[in-house]
Copies of this chain bind each other. A is one copy, B any other.
């Protein structure tokens, strides 16, 4: 059994990006918008800043009061859309309840949408085109690629159908040639599907969801869950028992979560290049 070392691959990806960015005549700039002062958001934004500065990106953190209204926030996004010096824009979720996250997300110029969450980028994904896509499923694809795990012709099973992970993951794995099954809360006999999986991606947010009897020998198990258990972080997969069956398994922490930040780094450079080539 091999542990899919998200930390190691993240470091590799960041070093590659740092090398590429050093050669650029201009610095790609990332702007993160935050509304209010959510504690978890502060931590996530710090991680993104650290990543950006390591690679050599410019980084700007725009923090607005929780009572900013939707119209004013849209105006701020519009300013950033029109600012040629800004290459990537990201709105840290969650937003206060009086603001519609989908309206805000879709106000971002799709060429600067480094979270890959605009409708138009989702449509390009579904249509098999190249564009900016969500970081977590991109991170899973990169992790598989770095460990030379072939996808074409494999049976892939995804548990969870979120816009952020499950749905784009299904599209990416299908495009890469896997037969993809998408399971969720309404799936009956979940184990009937998970036992089919050569590649199992779990993105639900439920501690202990996947036990060893639900996984076939030699499966590749990717755990996207991030749950608090006591004072630690754990995934959706019972790591200690499933690791004995898996050929490859991603741990939590230091698995997919690391890759998500790395892929944001990849998307910023991609957005920069897309804007330069227009």
* Residue positions of A touching B, CB distance < 8 A: 102, 118-129, 152-153, 155, 161, 163, 167-168, 170-171, 174, 177-184, 186-188, 192-193, 196
Contacts and interface: CB of A to CB of B under 8 A. Distances in A.
Contact of A181 (B119, B168, B179): B179
A186 B153 contact: yes
A153 B123 contact: no
A108 to B, nearest CB: 13
A113 to B, nearest CB: 11
B177 A128 contact: no
27 contacts: A102-B127, A118-B123, A119-B123, A119-B124, A119-B127, A119-B129, A120-B120, A120-B123, A122-B127, A123-B123, A123-B126, A126-B163, A126-B167, A128-B163, A153-B187, A153-B188, A155-B188, A167-B174, A170-B170, A170-B182, A174-B182, A179-B181, A179-B188, A180-B181, A180-B182, A181-B181, A181-B182
